[in-house]
Amino acid sequence: MAAPSCSALGVWVRGSWQRLGDLFTFVSKPLCSTAAASRPLDAQRLAERLRAQKQEQKTKKPVPTNPVQRRVQELLRFTEQLQRVHPNVLAKALSRGLIHQDKDLVVINKPYGLPVHGGPGVRLCISDVLPVLAKMLHGHKAEPLHLCHRLDKETTGVMVLAWEKDVAHQVQELFRTRQVTKKYWAITMRVPVPSAGVVDIPIIEKEVQGQERHHKMTLSPSYCMDNGKMVRVRTSRNAHLAVTQYRVLSSTLSSALLELQPVTGIKHQLRVHLSFGLDCPILGDHKYSDWNRLAPQKLSACILKKLGLRQSKARHIPLHLHACQLTLPALQAGKEELNLVCKPPRYFVHTLRRLGLKMPSRDQNGDKEATHSGAQ
């Protein structure tokens, strides 16, 4: 690491003297007071302030020089800030990423790191700002929007909202009966074999025993190998039918861009099928890259080199799973189906370029007449 320059040192010294001057002013004023009883309280405040400054200096991290590491840290700060902003600010940001709007539906581009529903540790979520977003789009007398489906906190892309509760229930029924076509893009470690196919393996939630006991979704296959023969096993009644179509859009020796089409909608289905079914975990999936432990994803030396990262920084890599396209059947007679396409976020595109993967053309993705949103 290069030694600090004289100018930087001068700035540090001036900043330090400024802080010392502030502390001197803070201390000197109460000491000049005639109220002797206030002195112990002032000393306590001074000690707390000094401890806080010392802790701040310990936790302050240097700005990385590597552009990839800077983008990773910027995305991390962005996701943390999303939980602290005012609901009006978040609603305004969502309105800028509007994909489609009509008298029945509003379709937004869900950003990374924003949960759909509240829960433990969640300060702000999409459902919290739906009343504000409705007023921004439809005036102050507008009723709150309604959620039609959900995406994981780390997943980006197309998300459908409805103006009326009845319409929301209608769309939810379309999802439940598998009449909605959903397509995702995912950047994976390794390349699946074969390059296109269907993963039809039930999924079940289980508790992982170990140093950190936790729950994960995992495979519950209907067949297993017994003395070289494939035999059918009894399926658990808690297992859920899960079917995922996939195809490789672009690949290198160490990574691939996949198009995924889930036929069913089980929790974490795509992540489980790719990691445990195809042995190709999604880049940035720190939960499902290893069954036995909760730890940052272990990346190959080739991927680390292309991304310009060290393994110690891999924990900051976001999940590269994007809901790129959604096709809704006509909600009313005489109307056409609604085809919605959302471009991937900038970090997704940057990773494609770094890994040497090609972005599919519009013709390849079949979205010539689709509605697009801008990249995040």
pLDDT bracket for residue 78 (50, 70, 90): low
Residues 6 or more apart whose CB falls under 8 angstroms from that of 254 comprise: 189, 190, 300, 302, 303, 306, 355
| pLDDT given at position 82 | 62
Q: Does domain 67-355 have CATH number 3.40.640.10?
A: no
Residue 318: is the preceding peptide bond cis (ω within 30°)?
Answer: no
Q: Is the pLDDT of residue 22 over 70?
A: no
Contact present, 311 and 303 (Cβ < 8 Å): no
For residue range 341-369, list pLDDT tens digits in order.
Answer: 999 999 999 999 999 999 987 655 554 44
User: Which residue numbers are catalytic?
Assistant: 152
Average pLDDT, the chain: 82
Q: What is the DSSP letter of 233?
A: -
Q: Is the pLDDT of residue 4 over 60?
A: no
What mean pLDDT do residues 34-42 have? 51
The CA distance from 162 to 191, in Å, is 38
Contact present, 112 and 156 (Cβ < 8 Å): yes
| pLDDT given at position 57 | 66
What mean pLDDT do residues 320-338 have? 92
For residue range 91-145, list pLDDT tens digits in order.
Answer: 998 999 899 999 999 999 999 988 998 877 778 889 999 999 999 998 888 999 9
> Phi first, then psi: what are they for 174, rounded to 5°?
-65, -40
Q: 3-class SS at 258?
A: strand
Name the E strands within the chain. 98-101, 105-110, 146-147, 156-162, 181-189, 196-200, 203-208, 214-219, 223-226, 229-232, 243-251, 255-262, 321-328, 338-341
What mean pLDDT do residues 247-262 have? 97
What mean pLDDT do residues 157-161 have? 97
| pLDDT given at position 63 | 60
For residue range 214-249, list pLDDT tens digits in order.
Answer: 789 999 988 777 788 888 887 788 899 999 999 999
| pLDDT given at position 58 | 60
Strands 321-328, 156-162: pairing is parallel
